[in-house]
């Protein structure tokens, strides 16, 4: 009985080892591409939007830029302090939400969604400040009120 269990474990280990070698080779091949991480993330985010109308492209472009920046900035080097790492990752996440809400204010027409976008901006700014203060960092500088962003097709 011991030998059967051992041979099954050996086969499973061999399969696992082969799978790991395959994944390592795949990762190695992928890492040799000339694309930067930003290009890679932007391509992933942009793929579903290729069929968008030309009128919607500026809005989608801003969102892709915000998502790309957010994903890159969330990739932190661990500090050994879970709380600081949490703030370091959540700050760009919240900033991405702010930038996406600002795009809604620039291009969106639905007044309920525009009000919600304003609330998102204010709430996310407050949360960034609270998180930074909680770990002894200075809060970010204050920003313009979101009501100052007019829709794209309106004249200021």
Task: Say yes or no: 2 and 42 in one domain.
Answer: no
Low-confidence stretches of the chain (pLDDT beneath 70): 1-35, 143-156
What is the pTM for the complete model shown? 0.67
What was the pLDDT predicted at 148? Answer: 56
What was the pLDDT predicted at 10? Answer: 53
Helix (H) or strand (E) holding 35: none
Residues 6+ apart with CB under 8 A from 46: 60, 64
**C-alpha span between 66 and 153 (Å, rounded):** 21
What are the tokens at 102?
Answer: 């600002």
Q: How many CB atoms lie within 10 A of CB 68?
A: 21
Structural domain including 106 reads 35-148
154 part of a folded domain:
no
What was the pLDDT predicted at 36? Answer: 75
Task: Say yes or no: 98 and 44 in one domain.
Answer: yes
Angle subtended by helix axes 57-74 and 82-107, to nearest 10: 170
Task: Say yes or no: 52 and 25 in one domain.
Answer: no
Task: Say yes or no: 20 and 71 in one domain.
Answer: no
What was the pLDDT predicted at 55? Answer: 85
């Amino acid at each position: 009985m011991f030998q059967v269990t051992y041979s099954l474990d050996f086969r499973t280990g061999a399969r696992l080892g082969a799978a790991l070698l395959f994944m390592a080779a795949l990762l190695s091949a992928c890492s040799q591409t000339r694309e930067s991480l930003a290009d890679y993330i932007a391509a992933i985010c942009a793929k579903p939007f290729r069929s968008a109308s030309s009128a919607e492209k500026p809005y989608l472009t801003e969102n892709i830029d915000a998502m790309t920046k957010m994903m890159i900035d969330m990739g932190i080097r661990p500090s050994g302090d879970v709380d600081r790492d949490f703030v370091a990752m959540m700050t760009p996440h919240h900033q991405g939400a702010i930038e996406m809400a600002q795009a809604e204010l620039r291009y969106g027409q639905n007044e309920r969604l525009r009000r919600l976008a304003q609330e998102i901006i204010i709430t996310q700014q407050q949360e960034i400040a609270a998180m930074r203060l909680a770990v002894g960092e200075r809060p970010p500088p204050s920003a313009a009120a979101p009501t100052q962003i007019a829709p794209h097709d309106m004249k200021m």
